[in-house]
Amino acid sequence: MTTPQEHHEGLVELLQVAAIRNQSVGAAGHLATAVERLGQLTEPAPVRPATRSVVTEHLDRAVSLADAANAELAGAVFAARETLHWRVAYEGVEGDEAFTHFRKNYAFALLVAADPDAPAPFHHPELAMGFSLQAPNVHYGMHHHLAVEIYNIIGGTGEWKRNEGPWTPRPPGSVILHEAWDDHGMNTTDQPTLTWWTWVTDVTNSTPVMT
């Protein structure tokens, strides 16, 4: 039987491979930084697992939509799903009906956190990394933050918008770079979208702000 620690260590190894591979697609310098910092993590710590309805209802389909390059990582996320702490975004923030719908149908789990008190199995003072899952037909409104952010699509095709650019379909294997303060948003249509993402700058003093 695989232990939670073994699941988490396996995910780190697969993310190192994915980050090296994705440097040829985009954000090469930032992903190289992420790879370096993944080799400097604290020893793994126990995490209190938590799940959300969006995970139990949509993760399996998102995993099934992974491309060949991400299939192993997708399977590892699914295998580790009950050992991770899936969180609601923007806890404590009030919004309109669409924002409430988004929060109910989106979840993220930290694998690496800069905050030593955050529910993540690994920590690094200059790195945040984890997974996000967005259910079908959900609008994640435009927002921005100081941290440079890279999204890597594992499974499912969603639409992404950056600053004044158009909404653009992003299939599995896509790498999406958000520089500091870039406005960006994400839509799903008939497919859920599973990603891995990382912040590599200003990790401890960045708070997403809806715009």
Q: Got the DSSP string for the chain?
A: ---HHHHHHHHHHHHHHHHHHHTTTS-HHHHHHHHHHHTTPPPP-----B--HHHHHHHHHHHHTB-GGGHHHHHHHHHHGGGSBEE-TTTT----HHHHHHHHTEEEEEEEESSTTSS-SEE-TT-EEEEEEE-SS-EEEEEE-SS-EEEEEEES-EEEEETTSPPEEE-TT-EEEE-TT--EEEE-SSS-EEEEEEE-SSGGG---EE-
CA distance 77 to 95: 30
| pLDDT score at 198 | 98
Looking at residue 96, its pLDDT comes to: 86
Q: Is residue 104 one of the residues assigned to a domain? A: yes
Domain assignment present for residue 208? The answer is no
Question: What pLDDT, on the 0 to 100 scale, is given for residue 91?
Answer: 85
Q: Among residues 24, 81, 95, 70, which one has the least CA distance to residue 171?
A: 70
Please report whether residue 206 resides in a domain: no
**pLDDT tens-digit profile, the chain (211 residues):** 899 999 999 999 999 999 999 998 889 999 999 999 999 999 999 999 999 999 999 999 999 999 999 999 999 999 999 999 999 999 878 788 889 999 999 999 999 999 999 999 999 999 999 999 999 999 999 999 999 999 999 999 999 999 999 999 999 999 999 999 999 999 999 999 999 999 999 999 888 988 8
pLDDT of residue 145: 96
The reported pTM is 0.96
Instruction: Please give the residue range of the domain that contains residue 87.
Output: 4-200
Residue whose pair of structure tokens reads 């948003």 in the numeric block:
185
Residue 114, domain member (yes or no): yes
- pLDDT value, residue 148: 96
Is residue 56, in this structure, part of any structural domain at all?
A: yes
Length of the chain in residues, anyone?
A: 211
Asked whether residue 211 is assigned to any structural domain, the reply reads no
Report how many domains make up the chain: 1
Please give the structure tokens belonging to residue 175. 């790498």
Q: Is residue 205 part of a domain?
A: no
> In the Cβ-directed half-sphere of 205, how many Cα atoms lie within 13 Å?
3
The CATH number covering residue 188 comes to 2.60.120.10
Domain membership of residue 143 (yes or no) is: yes
